Structures are given as structure tokens and as C-alpha cells.
Structure 1
Amino acid sequence: MKLQAREFTGRHMLIIMLAFFGVIIAVNVVMARFAVTSWTGLVVENSYVASQQFNEKMVAVRTQNDLGWVPKLEVADGKITFTLIDRIGNPVTMSGGKATFQHPTFEAADWSVSLVPSGNGQLSASSAVSPGVWVVNIEIDCGLATPYRHSERILVKDGARL
């Protein structure tokens, strides 16, 4: 049985071209949809106002760094623990605080938790952290004129920080 060779026609070329560009358009639509629904791109509400506050924020950061305090954030077994040690190794007295967990590019999953004193100079909260990369912004009330602020990028896998 001999197979007969088929002729390549303009119709075949049209089908190939439509399939090729159809795939490209479909991928672009899907990627555009992900881009629009996952991150607004908004970093600050008003960049001019943020630029005017930059120097004040840098002075506050330098003042806080001059304290020589060492922060430690732990995430494990459904518990978030924050410890703050002064420059001579003693725990800093903290009356409470707030930890905000933010995905670097997907703000719909952002959430916050209140940190309460749990003894031994620690603040803690019972809350499981879902796996992924998180930027954790912590504000602590420890008797200063302004709250102590700490920001850290962490990776959580299997309910614990890596």
C-alpha cells in the first residue's frame, strides 16, 4: 500500500499561521490577566510626599540603629515570636506590637497579627504562616518616642522559617 503525497496548499499555511498567532495572543492575554490581578504596582500613594519624608525617616532609622538592639523573628509550629535584645544582651521591655506579612508582589494575600508579651522579653502570636516568601514589617511599642520598626524578608516552608 503506497501512501499518496499531499500537496501543501494556501489553506494549510493559513491554518498554521492562525494557530501560531492564536497561541501567542492567548498567552499574552493570560499573562496580562495575571499581571493585572496579582499586583497593582503601587509602592507609595504619592511619590512626591514620600520623597519629602525621606530625610526624616532616615534620621529615625539612624537613631534606632544607634540603640544597638538586635531583633530576632521566629516562625515555627503555628507561632510567631519576636525578641529584641539590647546592646549588652538584656531583653528589651516591650508592651505589644503588630506584625504585617506581605507578599512581595501579591498584595491580596497580605495580613497582620497583633503581638502580645509572652514572657522572657518576647512578643508572640499564635498564627500559622502559609508557605512562601514574605516581607514582615514589625512595629513594637517599647517606650520610645516612636515605635521600634523592623522589616525582614523571610522564606516559610512547611510552617517554619528557613
Structure 2
Amino acid sequence: MFMRRSHDFTFTGWHMAGVVCLFFGTIISVNVYMAYQAVHSWSGLVVENTYVASQQFNGKVEEAKHLAASGLSGTLTVGAGMIRYRMVDAADRPVDADELTVRFKRPVGDHQDFELLLSPVGSGVHEARREVLPGHWIVEVTGLKSGERILHHSKRIAVTGPAS
């Protein structure tokens, strides 16, 4: 025997409108949240002027090749409130620079970025006192001798523990 229930469910246009609103409301909400996070977590600035940067690109590539061929390298040490950089040549002999600059940049955002001139202390070692906050940093080291760049070293580091 077949029994018929007294209240059968009927899917109406109102139900479909609710499903559509919930579906697209979820997608729009997620997109708004992601756009907010993107705008507030990264400066978005890679270069000041893309046209000028494109014109300088080939020159920067040639300079990078020249610097790599020089064989100069270095070791960065960050800790105990001190930033130290030791520069050596290909034969591991110390090299002194007239000026050694380090630039600490956060991978995301630019509000904690800073640049510092290190003082020579001898034997290719340059240092400065500075507290560095924990977290990930991109460090660019630039060395000048007689007004000419002799070193450009870029490295991503992680500083752990309390500010050191």
C-alpha cells in the first residue's frame, strides 16, 4: 500500500534564491577577506618606477657578473645586540672596505626596515651595535672601496629568540 504524507516538501523559487545567496555570499565574503589581507600585509612596492628599473636592468646584470667574478664573499653574524660582517676574497684573505652598509628588510611589509653603516674593526670585519627583532629578514650588504662597489651580498635569514 502507498501512504501519502500530509506535508510534502516542495522546493520553491525562494529556496533556490536562498541557496544562490548563500553560495555567492560565501564566495564574496572570502574574496573581501583575502583582498583586505593582501592590502594590509604587504606594501606592494618592489621598485619606485618600473620603467626606470627596466632601463637599468642590463647594467645591474653586468655589475652582478663582475662582482661574482671578483670572488669576494662574506659572513653575516647577528646576535647579542651586534651585527657583524666579515669580508674575504677567494683565497679566504680578509678584505677591508671603505664603507660597508647593511640593509635589513622584512619579506612582508616595510615598517620595520632599516639601514645601518658598519664600522671597520680590522681583518675584514665590520660591525655595529643594533637590536634586531626576531623573525625573517632579507639582508643586503653593500661594500664600497674608493667609491666603487666591490661587494653586494643578499641573504635571507631568520633571527630567533628575544630581540638580540
Structure 1, unaligned runs of 5 or more: 1-16
Cα shift readout 1:69-96 (whole Å, capped 9, x = no counterpart) = 1211111111111111112221001223
1:146 equivalent to 2:152? Answer no
Could you say if the C-alpha distance between residues 117 and 38 of structure 1 is closer, same or farther in structure 2, counting changes exceeding 3 Å?
same
The alpha-carbon deviation at position 18 of structure 1 amounts to 8.8
2-structure distance, mates of 1:32, 1:108: 20
1:101 equivalent to 2:107? Answer no
Determine helix, strand or coil for the equivalent of 2:148: coil
TM-score by length of 2: 0.75
Determine helix, strand or coil for the equivalent of 2:111: helix
Could you say if the C-alpha distance between residues 133 and 77 of structure 1 is closer, same or farther in structure 2, counting changes exceeding 3 Å?
same
- The match for 2:137 is 134
Aligned length: 155
Cα shift readout 1:33-84 (whole Å, capped 9, x = no counterpart) = 3322221322112222212211111111111111111211111111111111
Letter in 2 for 1:143: S
Could you say if the C-alpha distance between residues 149 and 58 of structure 1 is closer, same or farther in structure 2, counting changes exceeding 3 Å?
same
**What pairs with 1:115-130 in structure 2 (closer than 5 Å)?**
115-130=118-133
1-structure distance, mates of 2:163, 2:77: 8
Of stretches 27-36 and 40-49 in structure 1, the one that deviates more from structure 2 is: 27-36
1:158 equivalent to 2:131? Answer no
Root-mean-square deviation (CA, aligned residues, Å) is 3.0
- The match for 2:57 is 54
TM-score by length of 1: 0.76
2-structure distance, mates of 1:51, 1:90: 36
Letter in 2 for 1:115: L
Residue 33 of structure 1, aligned match among 25, 36, 43: 36
Determine helix, strand or coil for the equivalent of 1:149: strand
Determine helix, strand or coil for the equivalent of 1:107: coil
The alpha-carbon deviation at position 151 of structure 1 amounts to 0.9
Of stretches 137-146 and 25-34 in structure 1, the one that deviates more from structure 2 is: 25-34
**What pairs with 1:63-78 in structure 2 (closer than 5 Å)?**
63-78=66-81
Identity among equivalent pairs (%): 39
Determine helix, strand or coil for the equivalent of 1:146: strand
The alpha-carbon deviation at position 125 of structure 1 amounts to 1.0
The alpha-carbon deviation at position 21 of structure 1 amounts to 8.0
Structure 2, unaligned runs of 5 or more: 1-19
Determine helix, strand or coil for the equivalent of 1:109: coil
